[in-house]
């Protein structure tokens, strides 16, 4: 493993986590596929570690048919039951049902705003934000409130903040990390 300085929470003995940190987390990506995939994965993270989700990601991709929103939105009871038996993913009935509902809502938001990215950006004056050491901010609180009003599940402010970090609207790489691009304040 290389010796690049990374964010303090990165388990450097875990190559999958290191690769995620180095190539994806905090990198601005407003493409539809990653926006939907990470929305679903972040909702499954509630109460769990990101490492747990990350190590099940490929199984999730297979079980969720490539995270194509139109497919997930139409998962029926038979598919939901098969997901509950899928050993490679998180088999939480509430989260699985919520993921199907959230897929339908994702499509509704796209119809209303033209894209899910447009919806997310409507909460930002500028982006990306550079901040670290937080688990929530005013944007995540407002976005979470709006999402829950629309019916999204497992989208509390902390999960929404984590989602915004994952897609790079909030860049939270720490000052000691080789990917840090913000300003050191104080």
Q: Which residues participate in catalysis according to the annotation?
A: 20, 42, 50
The three state secondary structure string of the chain is CCCCCCCCCCCCCCHHHHHHHHHCCCCCCCCHHHHHHHHHHHHHHCCCCHHHHHHHHHHHHHHCHHHCHHHHHCCCHHHHHHHHCCCCCCCCHHHHHHHHHHHHHHHHHHHHHCCHHHHHHCCCCCCCEECCCCCCCHHHHHHHHHHHHHCCCCCCHHHHHHHHHHCCCEECCCCCCCCCCCCCCC
Distances (CA, A) of 81 to 59, 62, 77, 86, 89: 16, 15, 6, 9, 13
Spatial CB neighbours of 120, under 8 Å, sequence gap ≥ 6: 30, 35, 143, 164, 167, 169
């Amino acid at each position: 493993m290389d010796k690049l300085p990374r964010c303090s929470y990165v388990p450097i003995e875990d190559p999958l986590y290191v690769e995620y940190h180095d190539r994806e987390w905090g990198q601005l990506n407003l493409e539809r596929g990653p926006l939907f995939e990470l929305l679903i994965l972040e909702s499954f993270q509630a109460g769990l570690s990101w490492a747990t989700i990350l190590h099940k990601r490929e199984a999730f991709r297979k079980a969720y048919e490539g995270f194509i929103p139109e497919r997930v939105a139409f998962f029926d009871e038979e598919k939901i039951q098969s997901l509950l038996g899928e050993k490679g993913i998180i088999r939480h009935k509430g989260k699985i049902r919520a993921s199907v509902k959230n897929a339908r809502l994702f499509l509704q938001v796209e119809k209303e705003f033209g894209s899910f990215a447009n919806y997310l950006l409507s909460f930002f004056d500028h982006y990306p934000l550079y901040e670290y050491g937080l688990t929530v901010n005013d944007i995540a609180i407002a976005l979470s409130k709006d999402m829950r009003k629309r019916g999204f599940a497992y989208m509390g402010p902390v999960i929404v903040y984590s989602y915004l970090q994952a897609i790079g609207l909030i860049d939270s790489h720490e000052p000691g990390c080789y990917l840090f691009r913000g300003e050191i304040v104080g």
